[in-house]
Structure 1
Amino acid sequence: MEPRPEIPDQSHLPPEQRTDLAVRVNDLYVNYRTSFEKKPTLRQALMRFGRGQRAVREVEALKGISFEVRTGTSMGIIGANGAGKSTLMRTMSGILSPTKGSVEVWGQASTLLALGVGFNNNLSGRENIILGGLAAGLSREEVEERANEIAEWTELGDFIDMPMRSYSSGMFSRVSFSVAVHMEPDILMIDEALSTGDAHFREKASAKMAELRSKARAMFLVSHGLGSIKELCDEAIWIDKGHLKKAGKPDEVVEAYLDFMQAKRSATTLEDI
């Protein structure tokens, strides 16, 4: 495999003249509305025969985030639960629309955001591999050419031809991950995928990620596994409550994040965070 040619830094050029970018996020805000069951008071419960009441809340998930990702970059995204990491990934992939600001993406993105979304549990793993390839924009011929390779890569044996409703969560995730990483994407976005499977499969998944990093225009990895961020990424951002707290080299960003978390919780581990 030939190394990727070095792309000159074009940060001094006006945005419209740059050709080195894979993704640009500019002053991004994302708000969404969600509903939840509001517990009634005793009086309300008696009047409404105990029925709950639906309340609507507006969530400000991202607040003025800006950053650029150059071609060839592997970007890690870290932060506590609810920080806005997955919302950012969904917005970059086009699943969510910005409330304010803009997201520009050059190339086709292959997303592994919610494992198995779009799969049919009544179909076999092999049949869902074909569906996943078609959803990624491949032709039927291209998908059929890759289906056997992807099926073997999952290491599920005869289970690959059984209905996915019979799969464990780990088996389900293996199929999802395998489909995503074999679609040869321009930009790969992966949210918490490296925890899939046993130690052998995690090592295999990490090797595949490293291979994709050398081929894809850019890669984004959301993970609570800070070791994976430091090992697989060459840039990182830390998001906290919708704000971009820090961007830079993974070691520096992880260190700042750990210092912040340890200031809030005196005893913790990387796995707990």
Structure 2
Amino acid sequence: MASDKDTIIKVTNAAVRFNMASERIDNLKEYFVKLIKRELMFQEFMALKDINFEVKRGEAWGLIGTNGSGKSTLLKLICGILKPYRGTVEVRGSIAPLIELGAGFDGELTATENIYLNGAVLGYSKEFMDAHYDEIVEFAELKDFMNMPIKNYSSGMAARLGFAIATIVQPEILIVDEVLAVGDAAFQEKCQERMHHMLENGTTLLFVSHTMATVRQLCDHAIWLNKGNVVMQGEAESVCDAYMESLNLPENA
């Protein structure tokens, strides 16, 4: 319940609606002409349908389901990036959203410059970033590439730097959306260790992954989405087992 002090995230009857153009338009001029004349037809698409989801402080939830099931949309709803078409979303705590690592980087700036730029966006002072600069570089394992423009980084290198910046503080809520998939196995393990440490110190985790073994390892709860609907939620092992069975895949995949 909303009055429960242990509840940190509460989603009640939430729906998200997108409009998709239902006709093909070949050029921008035609699009704007139809838009001005109100002749542009849209097809309604419900990305999430009446979601009810409650997370207690300190819990770790895995969000699972096939591509297009609504996992990332639910995370963006909780982060405040999207607003519900109907229903409510209540969040009590600071969020570190690792949804698109490196999305806020300026490709023309060096990695060092981007560390300070990202720090400013996150609300950190230059003095704070000075104090944590070496820690960020060491964790990202990019010491020899800090004067290189980010546009020359691989997606894996950018993700390393983004994760290192986003996790220099202990957030109340950590939201991770498949960002570990771009790193090598050793760095993925390193990120998981840092997340484990945060969980041990009280951080609440929302974690999207297609790898059930990682969900089982990190999460104590899970929610299974399919085409915008909740299929099942509860204890992580049970939800992962049911999901894997539905796909006819081994339960330890």
User: Structure 2 length as normaliser, TM-score?
Assistant: 0.88
Matched with 2:236 is: 250
Matched with 2:93 is: 107
Pairing 1:197–2:183 present: yes
Aligned pairs, how many? 241
Distance between the aligned counterparts of 1:232 and 1:37, measured in 2?
A: 44
Q: Classify 1:60/1:148 alpha carbon distance in 2 versus 1 (closer, same or farther; 3 Å).
A: same
Distance between the aligned counterparts of 2:251 and 2:99, measured in 1?
A: 22
* Amino acid of the structure 2 residue aligned with 1:177: F
What is the CA distance between 1:216 and its match in structure 2?
A: 4.3
* Amino acid of the structure 1 residue aligned with 2:188: R
Distance between the aligned counterparts of 1:221 and 1:175, measured in 2?
A: 19
Matched with 2:33 is: none
2:111 to 121, 125, 142: 125
Matched with 1:15 is: 2
Q: Classify 1:249/1:35 alpha carbon distance in 2 versus 1 (closer, same or farther; 3 Å).
A: same
Q: Classify 1:256/1:155 alpha carbon distance in 2 versus 1 (closer, same or farther; 3 Å).
A: same
1:75 to 55, 61, 64: 61
* Amino acid of the structure 2 residue aligned with 1:218: T
- Does the 8 A contact of 2:9 with 2:91 survive in 1? yes
Matched with 1:162 is: 148
* Amino acid of the structure 1 residue aligned with 2:163: F
1:134 to 106, 113, 120: 120
What is the CA distance between 1:270 and its match in structure 2?
A: 8.0
Consecutive unaligned residues of structure 2, counting only runs of 5 or more, are 27-39
Distance between the aligned counterparts of 1:29 and 1:233, measured in 2?
A: 25
Matched with 2:159 is: 173
Pairing 1:236–2:234 present: no
Identical-residue share of aligned pairs (%): 38
Matched with 1:152 is: 138
Deviates more, 1:137-146 or 1:94-103: 137-146
Distance between the aligned counterparts of 2:123 and 2:150, measured in 1?
A: 22
2:192 to 203, 206, 214: 206
User: Structure 1 length as normaliser, TM-score?
Assistant: 0.82
- The C-alpha deviation readout for 1:65-114, integer Å capped at 9, x for no partner, is 10211011011100000000000000100100011111111111010111
- Does the 8 A contact of 1:63 with 1:243 survive in 2? yes
Q: Secondary structure at the match of 1:110?
A: strand
Consecutive unaligned residues of structure 1, counting only runs of 5 or more, are 1-13, 41-53, 263-267
Deviates more, 1:56-65 or 1:94-103: 56-65
- The C-alpha deviation readout for 1:116-162, integer Å capped at 9, x for no partner, is 11110111122212222222222222122112211111001211221
TM-align CA RMSD: 2.2
Distance between the aligned counterparts of 1:245 and 1:217, measured in 2?
A: 26
Q: Secondary structure at the match of 2:133?
A: helix
Structure 1 residue runs of 4+, over 3 Å off?
34-37, 54-57, 268-271
- Does the 8 A contact of 1:124 with 1:160 survive in 2? yes
- Does the 8 A contact of 2:71 with 2:225 survive in 1? yes
Q: Classify 1:57/1:173 alpha carbon distance in 2 versus 1 (closer, same or farther; 3 Å).
A: farther
- The C-alpha deviation readout for 1:21-67, integer Å capped at 9, x for no partner, is 11111111011224487278xxxxxxxxxxxxx86433210001102
